[in-house]
Structure 1
Amino acid sequence: MKRYLIIGAARSGLACADYLLRKKDTEVILADSDPGKEAATVEYFANRPIQLIWGRPDIDALKPDILVLSPGVPPQIGPVQEALAAGIPVISEPELAYREGRARWFGITGTNGKTTTTALAAHLLEGFGAPVFCGGNIGTPLISAVPDLPEEAVVVAELSSFQLELIDRFRPNAAAYLNLTPDHLDRHGNLEAYAEAKARIFENQGPEDLLIANYDDPTVRVLAERAGGQVWYFSLKAQPPLGMWEKEGKLMVRLQPQDAPHCLLDRSDIALPGAHNTENIMAAVLGALYFGASESHICRQLRTFHSVAHRLEPVRDLAGVRYVNDSKGTNPDATEKALQAYNEPIVIILGGRNKGNSFDPLVPLIQEKCRHVVLVGEAKADIRQALDRFAYPDYSQAASFEEAVSLAQQAAQPGDVVLLSPACASWDMFPNYEVRGDLFKKLVNELDG
């Protein structure tokens, strides 16, 4: 009998428990420090043989064989450190899914662009000849589907630094490291530790595996030199040794040293705005090519892909104003990319919970692009101070999210874009960025012209 202790009763933890309860000779314990989850969790697992703990689990008393840590729970907590000191393996949900499955993997990480790249890569692989599952940090927990997939299937997985810091054997056939900018410093402590957590995505790769890396990002480019397999790069600025690049509006490809570069298609054929999305497109295309999709199939699929929910998602045109939901812009760099995607004057809604970032680097672009800024949430004082340091006067402050949308409408003029791209996490007011984005869409659709 193998005893699993799962810490964290959110989406990932519940999925791990669901899966492990189906296995023979397995005992499952689920612990969470939030008593507010107790009633719903007890109901969820009614009449199933699981031990539920509310509060701190006693590692010495429970003696688990394996501890599975949910991504939202920091490894620094006492029970995790006690387990490590006792020699008990501590793993993440993606590690568990990898151990329990047979399918091939395309893992995607980076500070920004993960969700779009993951969704696009899965779209490009659909219909090329093998089953495709898309999940991970993008939504569906990997453990919910991966163990049941056949070996010819491809798992396209968005992987956060939180999920990667506790891998062990995890070895994706292809991995993409999209970019690195400051984020989650409140958890990782510094940029170097954050970069290394993400670099774990390719640390177990061998000669037959592939790393797809950003040639224009100096940190990622240096980290890629450690790759154990082949490296294909993507670039907006230069022609890399192997990979993809943009040249005069065309997406160019060269995958083997003996190949001559050739054009895949025109960038204008793809309905995803912004230079950052050109990077995402190239990373997704390289992954699809690695897994055997033909260029003709990829080009057909590219022409039918549109923005994912909560990432530069068009919501509504009202009285000459375009409303766009970029709730997944949860750090300043993501918001910078969103601002750069538009040439029209912008009214932007900023604020939420700061993850240890400085907002100063964002202000010059705000000065260039924005007619007005609406501040809301826990971090609005931090953002206001950054705006004041640069003498940017055109901002207002909202006491609620509903008021923020109203103030944005009042500030916008015909021809403008109202953009929700908060540069912050949602956790001060919402359980996740999806709920924040859904409320924004609901409020916008209720506006009167």
Structure 2
Amino acid sequence: MKINKSFENKNVLVLGLAKSGTSAALLLHKLGANVVVNDANAKQDENLLKQLKQEDITTILGSHPDDILSKHKIELIVKNPGIPYTNPVLVTALANKIEIISEPELAYQISDSNLIGVTGSNGKTTVTTLINLMINEGGKKAYVAGNIGVPATTVAQEAEATDTIVMELSSFMLAGIRDLHPHIAVVNNIFSNHLDWHKTRANYIHDKMRITENQTNDDYLIMNWDREEWQKIAKKSNAQVVPFSRQGLSEDGAYEKDSQLFFKNEYIMDAKDIAIPGEQNVENALAAIAAAKLSGTNNASIVQVLKTFSGVKHRIQFVDKIDGRVFYNDSKATDIEATEVALSAFDQPIILLAGGLDRGDDYSRLVPMLKKNVKAVVLNGETADNFKEAAEKAGIETIIKVDKVKNGVSTAFELSEPGDVVLLSPAAASWDQYPNFEIRGDEFIEAVKNINK
């Protein structure tokens, strides 16, 4: 951790609590700032509140007071990434030219570690995890942080100058950076996510690509090369572009050719030996290989990780095999593209559990994949009726609606036969029924455990 005196005696508002907000507030207090924490939700984790109270940090819960900025003479805001800039406090702050940053930006301000940043619409948690495992397997110390569930400000204080922080960065986090500068940036893919927040695809792409805006020719941008749009976007970066391609469109980086994985013409391993299933995980592996090789990791360590890594929880996660049926939890599939990826990972007949928050998505886009090998769908949530229409267009005859995921598991088991896959891949966010996709996935896992009990 490097010394940064720019926060001394500064009046800082941390907007949004949770783990990252608490970590940011404690760090700012440690740096000598006058910290105020504000969250509209009055119900908070008691352990987090206790930590703030022990340091006498002012905490305001239950609303966003209109006068919070003027009353506390706020000079800087560190905001929770999920809070939109339409929030009245942020609107007022912007009008008064008060700087607003994200928690990863704050972490960067005090970090002296090597930084690898990872973003993308899908697969970024898997890529982040793989890179971290590969570097550690190779004998160097690496940490994960950011959108993966570990506050970046916590890790930045622990990691040493010789260590690497592999930081998963959402578009929301990247919207609030200023100086954040990864030596290696990874963009796994860019689809059309979170348009309810970003409003347009152009805005979404802009925020995603902020990951490379502070990079120079001494840095690297690892970019998915399998779409022409992504190739064009990458060429706007000042960094050295290192492509990865499952279609073998470039041999200047990591690529698949004849079912084998290479990095700059150097053979790494056979694609079939990757432990986690699906074509998307070949892409994830290629992105991670590129980052690991650029970090100086040896091939043996890379191969060992890819052969043994069984996947990230809630991301096409193997749960159990019961009476010949195989259960997978893909609760992180909060958009149509992620569910397309999950469906493409299996050749067996699928009983699909889907549905969730209605954000106006067109589920007819899923019809081609539903036709492939989905034999029945079990639906819940706000999107159930829209998803039902898509399933009917795909010719699926067995369509059942349930009230919760846990009830969908027992229904899916009754519909299934030995050799089938029971897959939770909602193609929608969880917020209509669950606080987050993790709780939704945990409910699925628990329901699977209770089958036959």
Q: When the two structures are superposed, what TM-score results if normalisation uses the length of structure 1?
A: 0.95
Checking the alignment, whether the CA contact within 8 Å between 2:14 and 2:38 is kept in structure 1 is: yes
Quote the residue 1:409 is aligned against.
413
The residue type paired with residue 357 of structure 1 is D
**1:115-152 CA distance string (max 9 Å, x none):** 11111110111043432111211111111111332112
Quote the residue 1:95 is aligned against.
105
Aligned pairs (5 A) from 1:51-90? 51-54=58-61, 55-57=63-65, 58=67, 59-90=69-100
Q: Secondary structure of 2:60's partner?
A: strand
Gaps of 5+ in 1: 255-260
Checking the alignment, whether the CA contact within 8 Å between 1:352 and 1:378 is kept in structure 2 is: yes
Gaps of 5+ in 2: 1-8
Quote the residue 2:19 is aligned against.
11
Aligned pairs (5 A) from 1:41-56? 42-54=49-61, 55-56=63-64
Aligned pairs (5 A) from 1:38-437? 42-54=49-61, 55-57=63-65, 58=67, 59-254=69-264, 261-389=265-393, 392-437=396-441
Q: 2: distance between equivalents of 1:83 and 1:288?
A: 40
Checking the alignment, whether the CA contact within 8 Å between 1:12 and 1:93 is kept in structure 2 is: yes
Cα 1:385–1:418 change in 2 (3 A) is: same
Q: 2: distance between equivalents of 1:44 and 1:348?
A: 43
Q: Secondary structure of 2:43's partner?
A: helix
Q: Secondary structure of 1:45's partner?
A: helix
Q: 1: distance between equivalents of 2:45 and 2:290?
A: 44
Cα 1:239–1:42 change in 2 (3 A) is: closer
Cα 1:39–1:275 change in 2 (3 A) is: closer
Checking the alignment, whether the CA contact within 8 Å between 2:351 and 2:412 is kept in structure 1 is: yes
Alignment of 1:438 onto 2:445: no
Q: 1: distance between equivalents of 2:192 and 2:121?
A: 8
Cα shift at 1:403: 1.6
Quote the residue 2:5 is aligned against.
none
Cα shift at 1:410: 1.3
Q: Secondary structure of 1:292's partner?
A: coil
Sequence identity percentage: 35
**1:262-308 CA distance string (max 9 Å, x none):** 31111122212111110100100110111111223222332222211
Q: 1: distance between equivalents of 2:308 and 2:217?
A: 34
Q: Secondary structure of 1:283's partner?
A: helix
Quote the residue 2:28 is aligned against.
20
Cα shift at 1:75: 1.5
Q: Secondary structure of 1:440's partner?
A: helix
Q: Secondary structure of 1:303's partner?
A: helix
Cα 1:427–1:166 change in 2 (3 A) is: same
Q: When the two structures are superposed, what TM-score results if normalisation uses the length of structure 2?
A: 0.94
Cα shift at 1:39: 6.3
Cα shift at 1:113: 0.5
